[in-house]
Amino acid sequence: MINEVQIKSKKKEKIYSYNAFKGIGSIFILFSHMAYLSDAVNPFWHSFWENFMRYGYVFTTLFFIISGFFLAYTWKDKNFKDYIISKLKRIYPLVIIVFTLALVITIVLSKNIEPNKNIPLGSLLWIFNIFANIFLLKAFVPYETTFYSFHGPSWYISALFGLYIFGYILLKKINSENTIVRKVWLKKSLNICIFTYGIEFLICLAMLISGKGSLYWCYVNPWFRIFGEGLAGILLFEYMPEIQKKVRLIKANIVEIFAVFLFFIVYIFNNFNKLNIFSAWIWIFPFGFLLIAFKNDKGCVSKILKKKPFQFLGDISFELYMTHAFVYEGLPIIVGIVSKSLKETLIYYAGSRFIITLILSIIFAWIVNNLMNRAYKLKIFG
């Protein structure tokens, strides 16, 4: 989700399709948060939510795979300390800005149960959650009152930073100058990835058998995100040259169209999947194949994804992911302050609320993106 859509051959080459996928993924995740559409009076919006939009959360898998993929490229440029600092400079400022804004809103709305999740201001849990947010640890605490505290979507950043740390360490082993050592660690890493996916599958299966669900273990689960999806992205990068030798034997148009078709088949299958609504383990297949198919940006679908609208969404994808919650949660509150009758109208016509939320979220993300880019150019964050 962070703007790292470059891969190195002899020169740095931008992969436009990957950038577009990030933008599309951010929009789909926004879709998944529009749960009020389940109560829409209009049958179109109700059906659109139930059969399509609600599953947008699966794109989180794509973000972890892409992050692992580009981690495997960028890690070589710097030592561990410099690399981690560079990552913090890129993601941490917006994380803190968003957290601070959420903290202020929480205090202002302290009498409202929902924003505070029944956690009293000044309590030990409230203070602990502040600590977990500031130090990017919230995803590693298996309680919703913590991993979704203050700003829910930022659990992703917590797990992502863990990927940067563990991924760097593994890549140091994988890219040993000793060929034998490299082969050994490639195999070890592949086994770790397969083992992690196996454990995740068993967790989902156990949830099915017990009739219980676990948002943490079947969705957030930072260990699966790091050693499953993130590591899968790293391995995809390492094996990409060999994979591309075989893929090049097939026309790019056919490969890209098939990859898109495969994705939509698996995505629509969500309507029939009774394993666990939060299960993430199956998404390595369609998303992994998308990255393989679009790596070279040579097919007919790639030409579409190179267009300005898709690239624009890709460029603001990080900001869109990090800020859209303020729009979809804040819009009804602001409208209610202005006019109670207007709020009732906005909520009743859920389709109108969705369209307004989508447009405002994109505009807000664009503004934040511009402000953050200016701050980076001025080296405000170091």
pTM across the whole model:
0.91
Note the pLDDT tens digit of each residue in 354-380: 999 999 999 999 999 999 999 998 888
pLDDT confidence of residue 210: 84
Specify if 158 maps to a domain: yes
- Does residue 197 carry a pLDDT above 50? yes
Specify if 160 maps to a domain: yes
pLDDT confidence of residue 7: 43
Specify if 382 maps to a domain: no
Which tops the pLDDT comparison, 352 or 158? 158
pLDDT confidence of residue 112: 53
Specify if 221 maps to a domain: yes
Domain count, the chain: 1
Domain containing residue 236: 6-377
Specify if 73 maps to a domain: yes
Specify if 356 maps to a domain: yes
Q: Which two tokens stand for residue 299?
A: 């097919």
- Does residue 293 carry a pLDDT above 90? yes
Note the pLDDT tens digit of each residue in 109-132: 766 545 556 788 888 999 999 999
Note the pLDDT tens digit of each residue in 72-104: 988 876 789 889 999 999 999 999 999 999 998
Q: What percent of the chain has pLDDT over 70?
A: 90
Specify if 1 maps to a domain: no
Number of C-beta neighbours around residue 241 at 10 A: 9
- Report d(CA 291, CA 109) in Å as an integer: 43
Note the pLDDT tens digit of each residue in 344-358: 777 667 888 899 999
